[in-house]
């Protein structure tokens, strides 16, 4: 067996920063993370063993405690609510996401904001909170007409388009083209805010999958960027497996001459990736 591990597999810089900081403060008592720190159950469990608690709503946090805002970012209203409750905010929003918040806040004064991304994804919901009323989330082509109808009711003539940082680069380009066509009377400014780490990972997984007999994509089941790696791999390789830990590899039947490609999402710890690689190396 020949094994190729992607150089970009595992934590991106934003997640690494957030998880390290959360580790540092998780044992200090009364530390709550609003939503899972990353979409990876191993990482969440490790931090919870250390004392951090995960909650879904600010209302669950006792007044005066510490709240962690994760790398995905939060809408502006959540900052205000947390302040009203007297919570100490540890803001671990990725600097790349903060830049997008800033951009839409500036642009919304004279532009209608279109955010390309997954409607239910926390990062897009956070950005949407900064974009305000005159905005719309575009997940598929079908959303463009509804966005246009909303735009028509405003007196704006400019469109500012941003992306979820972990969205598929190819899908963004396709949707951006459609937006240009459908909003042809408006002044459309496209800002492809997909982060470099996402672009590099998607490019690398494409190359690896084209040469592999079997692809293993490691990441949490709820991780949107991991799902995209799976989708891209499936277009380029016949056998693709989504796995969360090394235990999932034990059930896969490999052929002796298989070329195996490995890639992991931005929320997958490096040690999980190494465990999978070592397990396969022992089989060769
Ligand atoms: S994918 Fe990019 S923007 Fe998102 S947390 Fe990682 S480094 Fe930050």
Residues whose beta carbon lies within 6 Å of some atom of ligand 1: 12-15, 71, 94, 96-97, 165-166, 195, 197-198, 266
Whether 6 contacts 212, CB under 8 Å: no
Q: Which position has the higher pLDDT, 61 or 250? A: 61
Residue with CA closest to ligand 1 atom 4: 165
> For the CA atoms of the chain, what is the radius of gyration?
21
The whole-chain average pLDDT of the chain stands at: 95
Half-sphere exposure of 117 (CA within 13 A, CB side): 29
Q: Which of 16, 35, 94 to mutate to test the pocket of ligand 1 (most atoms within 8 A of CB)?
A: 94
Res 251: pLDDT: 86
3-state SS, the chain, equals CEEEECCCCCCCHHHHHHHHHHHHHHHHCCEEEECCCCCCHHHHHHHHHCCCEEECCHHHCCCCCEEEECCCCCCHHHHHHHHHCCCEEEECCCHHHHHHHHHHHHHCCCCEEEEECCCCCHHHHHHHHHHCCCEEEECCCHHHHHHHHHHHCCCCCEEEEEECCCCCHHHHHHHHHHHHHHCCCCEEEECCCCCHHHHHHHHHHHHHHHCCCEEEEECCCCCHHHHHHHHHHHHHCCEEEEECCHHHHHHCCCCCCCEEEEEECCCCCHHHHHHHHHHHHHHC
Res 29: pLDDT: 83
Q: What percent of the chain has pLDDT over 70?
A: 100
Q: How much is the average pLDDT of 113-136?
A: 96
Res 94: pLDDT: 95
Which domains are assigned to the chain?
Answer: 2-9+196-283 (3.40.1010.20), 14-94 (3.40.50.11270), 96-190 (3.40.1010.20)
Identify the bridge partners of residue 54 per DSSP, sorted by sequence position. 33
Q: How much is the average pLDDT of 105-122?
A: 96
Whether 3 has a pLDDT exceeding 90, the answer reads yes
| Interior/surface letters 111-131, b for 16+ CB within 10 angstroms, e for the rest | bbbbbbbbeebbbbbbbbbbb
Res 158: pLDDT: 98
Could you give the residue numbers annotated as active site?
Answer: 123
Tell me the torsion sign for CA atoms 152, 155, 159, 164.
negative
Whether 284 has a pLDDT exceeding 80, the answer reads no
Res 1: pLDDT: 86
User: What digits encode the pLDDT tens for the residues 217-267?
Assistant: 999 988 889 999 999 999 999 999 999 999 999 889 999 999 999 999 999
Whether 11 has a pLDDT exceeding 90, the answer reads yes
Res 68: pLDDT: 97
| Ligand 1 centroid, distance to 40 Cα (angstroms) | 15
Crossing angle of helices 142-152 and 169-182, in 10° steps, is 40
- In which band, very low, low, confident or very high, does the pLDDT at 159 lie, cut at 50, 70 and 90? very high
Q: How much is the average pLDDT of 134-153?
A: 97
Q: Is 218 exposed, middle or buried (0-12, 13-18, 19+ CB in 10 A)?
A: buried
Whether 195 has a pLDDT exceeding 90, the answer reads yes
Q: Which of 13, 18, 219 to mutate to test the pocket of ligand 1 (most atoms within 8 A of CB)?
A: 13
């Amino acid at each position: 067996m020949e094994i190729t591990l992607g150089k970009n597999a595992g934590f991106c810089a934003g997640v690494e920063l957030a998880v390290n900081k959360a580790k540092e403060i998780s044992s200090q008592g009364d530390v709550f993370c609003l939503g899972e720190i990353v979409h990876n159950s191993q990482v969440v469990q490790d931090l919870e063993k250390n004392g951090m608690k995960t909650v879904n709503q600010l209302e669950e946090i006792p007044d005066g405690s510490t709240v962690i805002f994760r790398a995905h970012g939060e809408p502006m209203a959540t900052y205000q609510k947390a302040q009203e409750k007297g919570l100490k905010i540890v803001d671990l929003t990725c600097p790349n996401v903060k830049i997008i918040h800033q951009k839409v806040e500036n642009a919304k004064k004279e532009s209608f904001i279109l955010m390309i991304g997954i409607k239910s994804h926390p990062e897009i919901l956070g950005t949407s909170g900064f974009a305000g009323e005159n905005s719309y989330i575009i997940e598929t082509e079908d959303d463009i007409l509804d966005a246009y109808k909303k735009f028509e009711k405003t007196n704006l003539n400019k469109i500012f388009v941003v992306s979820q940082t972990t969205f598929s680069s190819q899908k963004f380009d396709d949707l951006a083209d459609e937006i240009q066509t459908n909003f042809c009377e408006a002044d459309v400014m496209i800002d492809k805010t997909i982060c470099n780490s996402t672009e590099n990972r998607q490019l690398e997984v494409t190359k690896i999958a084209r040469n592999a007999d079997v692809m293993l994509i490691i990441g949490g089941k709820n991780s949107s960027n991991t799902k995209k790696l799976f989708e891209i791999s499936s277009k380029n390789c016949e056998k693709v497996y989504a796995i969360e830990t090394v235990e999932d590899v034990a059930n896969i039947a490999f052929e002796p001459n298989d070329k195996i490609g490995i890639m992991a999402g931005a929320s997958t710890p490096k040690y999980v990736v190494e465990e999978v690689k070592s397990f396969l190396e022992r089989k060769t």
